[in-house]
Every structure is written in C-alpha cells, then in structure tokens.
Chain A
C-alpha cells in the first residue's frame, strides 16, 4: 500500500485553505504550518498566495525564515504560488529577499493593479503535454531572470511564469483557485519521488 503523504501548507496569511481543499480532494493529508515545529515529518511544503509583504513580515517576526530555509535547502519539495514564488526567490526587484532559495529574479505586481488581473489557458508540456491548463493571475508577479540551474516550465507573452530548480517549484498563477488539479498532481509526484 502506498504511504500517505503529509503536505504542509504555510498558514500565516493568504489562500492557504484553497490549497488544503485541493490537496484534500486528491486524498492527501495536510498540515498548517505556523511554527518551526510544524515542519516535522512533511513530504512537501506549499507556500500559498497572499500578500508577500504580510507573509514575509510574519516569517521574519516569528523567526521562521531560518528553519524554512534549512528544510528547503536540505531537499524538502516546496511549491510557491504567487506570493509564495516571491518569498522563495533569491532576488526581488527593489526589495530584500526572504527565503532566498531559488535562483530567480522576481518583479512584484508585474502586470499592474487588480483591474489588470486575468485568466488564460496555456500548454505547460512538463505538466501535461497534451492539454492546456487554466491559469489565474491575481496582481501577479513574473520572473525577469533565472540562473542556469533553473528549468523554465512556462512563459506567457515572453515572461517566465513557472519554473523549477530541483525540489523547488514556483508558479506566478494560482492552480488552487481552479478545479483543475494537474499542477498539484505534478507537485505531489515531486514529493513522492523525494520520499522514495
């Protein structure tokens, strides 16, 4: 029988319940992460969307930066959506980085204000070579530069919107806001491989 995975979802602020709901529908156990002790025995970690300054500020105030960085650099599969992508980046334009674990440069609110938020469908061959995936962008960031270890998974209008560096996955869009679980399934594959 397959071992049940427990995936942690960082629950400081933002859309963590949506990720928990998606994972629950996929039959995966979840755990809210708000303290260092919540990081024990996780097969993977999701850093959700929300306000990156609010989440980042809380991570700093509660001394969570160091234990998170240790776990992630030690190989814990980690996926950041939107604000999560910003928090994982080692460079944020005009700002001090937070977790500093993936070699990308990020531009916040890159598409503009809420009036510029949008939805589109895109083929991401690494995740599904046949069918397009619905992508929701909410005051989203994009990636303006990536190091040689980073694999670019998707671009939209010439801008990088999904990337992976070994155990770290980042998307500037929100699969947890759709009923489409293909990106969650892709992340769970990374988690399963890491457990093996």
Chain B
C-alpha cells in the first residue's frame, strides 16, 4: 500500500504545469483533450449549474464516466461526496484514475472524511489552509487543491486559500522545532506532517488551484502564487467559446510568467462565464465551508 501511495503521488507530479477541466460528456472531454488538458474531471453538472439548480449533488452515473474514459486517453477523474466511501468504492471498481472527494457535491458525512488509505486509486481533496491540507494528506490524499469558491468565476477565494496555505507553510518552516507540536495542535494537523513541512518548506504532495478560475490571467495568477497547476470547472464550458478558452488557459499555465505570451493568448476569447461575486453569496451557501 505504501508503494501504491508513492505511485499515486507520482501521477500527480506528472499532472503539474497542466490544466484539469470539468466535462459533462464525451464530446466535451474530447474538446478538453484536444485543447491540451492534462486530465478531465467527469461530472454530471458543472459547479455553476449545481449552484443554480440546487438539490442534492451526488457522484455521476458510472456509465457516463466510462463513456468519457473511452473517449480520451488522458487521466479521468471523478467526484465523490465528502465521507461517501461507497461512491469511492464504485469509482475504484471502474478504475478511475483519480477520485476528488469534493465539497462541490453535497457532503454525506458532516464529521468524517473518507479513509483514503483503504483505497488503491488516488484521491485529491480540497483545502483552504495548511491544517486542512495536512488532515486530508493524513487521511491518505495524494494530491491537494485549494478550494476557492466553485461555480462563481470569482477568483478571490482561490487567491485567499493559496495565500493562506503559503503563509502557513512559511510560518511552519521558520518555526523553532520546539514549537511544532503546538502548531500541530493549533492547525489540527498530524505532527509528522507538520514536521515534514518544517523540514522541506513545502507540502508532501502536489497542490493545484481550483474554484473560480475563469480566464488565462486567473490561471497565470494562481501559478505565480505558487500553484502546481489548475482545475477549471465551470469556466470553460460555461463560456462563449470553450475550445478557444480551454486552449488559452492551457498556454497561460505553461507561460504563466511571460506577460507578452499571456497578452497574446488572452486576446479575443469571446465571453467569459457569467460570474457571481463571492461576497454576494450568503455564508451558509458557500461550498468551501464544507470539509472538516
């Protein structure tokens, strides 16, 4: 199992510098692959629609996920509800490449997350800060994504979570070793993982940005803030010209520190997704709050 965990962290390393795109059918998956996505996230409704339509959001139909697996050769990920380990068992049974235990779906357990060590397939989990990231890694996540606020097209929460994560890492790195147990207590994080961050100055797994990324500039912003790659959910297929925008965001992640290239890829992309200001969303309706 230890070896499988290393291999699962390794797959995340190979996704770095790439864009993982939400898709709801094989056609969209093909558009994403053709645009240069490094993986796709198969789901029935993108977060913007989940937000709009309401109701309970669950794991997608395995048939639909299998059709997407057949349509593309890049890794296929899919979401399960927080704590819903049977949905995860089902996705493992169809050989999914990565499971996202996601706050975008309606949580199944309001206390516990899935024991991810019990699975062979890898998990990515959302986090708003270092403590949350280390709790998820402690449970067996082999990749982290900052949560942002999905389905809004407003990048403010993604920025907040990435900055909070980086601040946490800086604090732990510069702490006196004697302070680490107290920090572990304060963050609610496993001591050995706090120790790892202190010794290495980084998370033990890859960290992508997610939640509200809608433009090439947003993607490059998250990369310049230190993200290893980006998830784009509603931002692509809720925009005026998905193929073009998808390709532009892929290039923006490769050339994230080259403003001239960013200017060129940002030109003439048509309409971006209609955004919602996160500040207009009542606290209790915010997805990022889900997760414990």
A97 within 8 A of partner (CB): no
Task: State whether B122 touches A114 (Cβ < 8 A).
Answer: yes
B120 within 8 A of partner (CB): yes
Task: State whether A138 touches B14 (Cβ < 8 A).
Answer: yes
Question: What is the size category of the interface that chain A forms with chain B?
Answer: 20 to 34
Interface string of A42-59 (1 = CB under 8 A from B): 000000011101100110
Interface string of B51-90 (1 = CB under 8 A from A): 0000000000000000001000111000000000000000
Task: State whether A57 touches B35 (Cβ < 8 A).
Answer: yes
Known: A53-B73, A58-B254, A139-B75. A13 touches B7 (CB 8 A): no
Task: State whether A13 touches B16 (Cβ < 8 A).
Answer: yes
Chain B residues within 8 Å of chain A by Cβ, number = 38
User: How close is A82's CB to chain B, nearest CB, in angstroms?
Assistant: 7
A154 within 8 A of partner (CB): no
Task: State whether B250 touches A58 (Cβ < 8 A).
Answer: yes
Give the residue among B8, B17, B33 with the most A Cβ atoms within 10 A: B17
Interface residues of B in 6-44 (CB under 8 A from A): 6-8, 10-11, 13-18, 33-39
User: How close is B67's CB to chain A, nearest CB, in angstroms?
Assistant: 15
Known: A12-B17, A34-B254, A34-B255. A54 touches B10 (CB 8 A): no
Cα separation A50 to B20 with both chains bound (whole Å): 13
**Contact of B14 (CB < 8 Å), options: A49, A62, A112:** A49
Note all chain A residues with C-beta closer than 8 A to B7. Answer: 114, 117-119, 136, 138
B218 within 8 A of partner (CB): no
A193 within 8 A of partner (CB): no
Cα separation A113 to B77 with both chains bound (whole Å): 11
Task: State whether A115 touches B73 (Cβ < 8 A).
Answer: no
Task: State whether B14 touches A14 (Cβ < 8 A).
Answer: yes
Note all chain A residues with C-beta closer than 8 A to B17. Answer: 11-14, 16, 50
A8 within 8 A of partner (CB): no
Task: State whether B75 touches A114 (Cβ < 8 A).
Answer: yes
Task: State whether A14 touches B73 (Cβ < 8 A).
Answer: no
Give the residue among B11, B14, B18, B92 with the most A Cβ atoms within 10 A: B14
Task: State whether A115 touches B92 (Cβ < 8 A).
Answer: yes
Task: State whether B247 touches A54 (Cβ < 8 A).
Answer: no
**Other 10 A-B pairs with CB < 8 A, given A50-B14, A57-B35:** A11-B17, A13-B253, A14-B15, A34-B254, A54-B37, A61-B251, A62-B251, A83-B14, A114-B8, A139-B75
Residues of B within 8 A of A (CB): 3, 6-8, 10-11, 13-18, 33-39, 69, 73-75, 92, 95-98, 120-122, 247, 250-251, 253-255, 258
Q: Mind listing 11 A-B residue pairs with CB under 8 Å?
A: A11-B254, A14-B15, A16-B17, A51-B74, A53-B73, A57-B250, A82-B14, A83-B14, A114-B7, A114-B8, A117-B10
